[in-house]
């Protein structure tokens, strides 16, 4: 099975890779729900990841994201991230990396053009549409920072529950899914849409789909092969 998939990688004109939380977990990044520890254990994570929660208690939500940023800053890309980045650098234009992860580890490994479907936890944006007075270099410090003139808040640049994915990234991901001849689905639960739908789109367009995940997923039904290994083990062997 491994040699077959390695052959498919060599033969593929274009490869789309969809990654999820499992890849980052191998670096020590807690999954969304696993981040509920210590002071945060009493909160439902969905109560900390909506616009309404932020408007109701911006300091609480801001502090939770600061906490998560600190956890992410303490870890490094693993061999899976590095294998993807090295392959992209050796084969420019042959791979589109699509990630559901917000931690930036793919980018830190060298995949600077990764399509981040759920945004970036390291970045901020305005909560409301910015006015002329909303200048990033003139923020009023605080938890969270805000425009010193109109009070518009800064917020983490991630996709919260109930929000749309960034249109440009989603469109590019859909094009890659429809245009690839091989899709690797790595470390994702396959339960979060529309990202999970990309695997079905690739399959329906005639691409081979390979799942890399130690556990079964709902996407296994469209897979040619399921490699039950962690990304840090599997990807260097497939892409090296």
Q: CA–CA separation, 33 vs 189, rounded Å? A: 13
Answer yes or no: are the C-beta atoms of 192 and 18 closer than 8 Å. no
Which candidate, 59, 72, 63, 62, places its Cα nearest to that of 32?
A: 72
Which is it for strands 182-186 and 154-158: parallel, antiparallel or unpaired?
Answer: unpaired
Could you please report the per-residue DSSP string of 30-61?
A: PPTTTT--GGGTTS-GGGGSSHHHHHH-HHHH
- Please indicate whether residue 81 is annotated as part of the active site: no
Which is it for strands 119-126 and 154-158: parallel, antiparallel or unpaired?
Answer: antiparallel
Phi-psi region of 100 (alpha: psi -120 to 50; beta: other; left: phi over 0): alpha
Catalytically annotated residue among 81, 106, 118, 203: 118
Active site positions, annotated: 118
């Amino acid at each position: 099975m491994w040699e077959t998939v390695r052959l498919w990688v060599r033969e593929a004109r274009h490869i789309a890779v969809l990654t999820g939380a499992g890849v980052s977990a191998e670096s020590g990044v807690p999954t969304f729900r696993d981040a509920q520890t210590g002071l945060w254990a009493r909160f439902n994570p969905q109560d900390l990841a909506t616009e309404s929660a932020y408007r109701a208690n911006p300091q609480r939500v801001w502090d939770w994201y600061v906490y998560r940023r600190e956890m992410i800053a303490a870890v490094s890309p693993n061999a899976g991230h590095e294998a993807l980045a090295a392959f992209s650098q050796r084969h420019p234009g042959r791979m589109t990396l699509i990630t559901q992860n917000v931690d930036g580890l793919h980018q830190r490994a060298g995949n600077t053009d990764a399509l981040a479907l759920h945004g970036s936890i390291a970045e901020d944006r305005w909560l409301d549409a910015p006015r002329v007075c909303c200048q990033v270099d003139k923020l009023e410090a605080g938890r969270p920072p805000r425009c010193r003139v109109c009070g518009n808040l800064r917020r983490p640049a991630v996709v919260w529950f109930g929000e749309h994915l960034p249109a440009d990234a989603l469109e590019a991901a859909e094009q890659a899914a429809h245009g690839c001849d091989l899709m690797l689905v790595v470390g994702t639960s396959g339960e979060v849409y529309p990202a999970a739908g990309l695997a079905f789109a690739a399959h329906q367009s005639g691409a081979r789909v390979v799942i890399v995940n130690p556990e079964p997923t709902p996407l296994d039904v469209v897979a040619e092969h399921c490699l039950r290994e962690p990304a840090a083990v599997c990807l260097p062997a497939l892409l090296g």
